[in-house]
């Protein structure tokens, strides 16, 4: 079986906040530079985040920070195909994970 791949481009974002405190939508841009993946979230046009990750097998592990500098955390996404990633995330100090699905839309 070929190694999984994460496509560069724009992804539709659908997520659920920790503890069932509401859902959200937006977009995520992913770009690979060498062995590192750079991510940029736009969450409903109200919140932005930047992150960097590494792919190990089918798992993309990501550290992220809110553009305000007030929140940061980590996420782990399973690469289901080149066009879909599903994962969990947590902010530093959090006790429950949130959930996200990223679905590839187009090349940037």
Give the closest residue to 35 by CA, choosing from 65, 60, 66: 60
Ranges of each domain in the chain: 9-106
- What does the pLDDT look like over 27-64, one tens digit per residue? 999 999 999 999 999 999 999 999 999 999 999 999 99
- What does the pLDDT look like over 5-35, one tens digit per residue? 899 999 999 999 999 899 999 999 999 999 9
Q: Which fold has domain 9-106?
A: Lipocalin (2.40.128)
Token output for 59: 């798992």
pLDDT for the residue numbered 2: 66
- What does the pLDDT look like over 68-101, one tens digit per residue? 999 999 999 999 977 899 999 999 999 999 999 9
């Amino acid at each position: 079986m070929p190694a999984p791949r994460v496509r560069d481009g724009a992804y539709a974002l659908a997520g659920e906040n920790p503890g069932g405190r509401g859902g959200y939508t937006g977009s995520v841009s992913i770009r690979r530079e060498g062995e590192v993946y750079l991510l940029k979230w736009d969450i409903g046009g109200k919140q932005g985040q930047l992150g960097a990750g590494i792919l190990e097998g089918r798992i993309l592990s990501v550290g992220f920070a809110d553009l305000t500098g007030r929140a940061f955390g980590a996420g782990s996404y399973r690469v289901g195909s080149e066009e879909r990633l599903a994962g969990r995330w947590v902010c530093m100090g959090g006790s429950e994970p949130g959930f996200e699905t990223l679905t590839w839309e187009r090349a940037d």
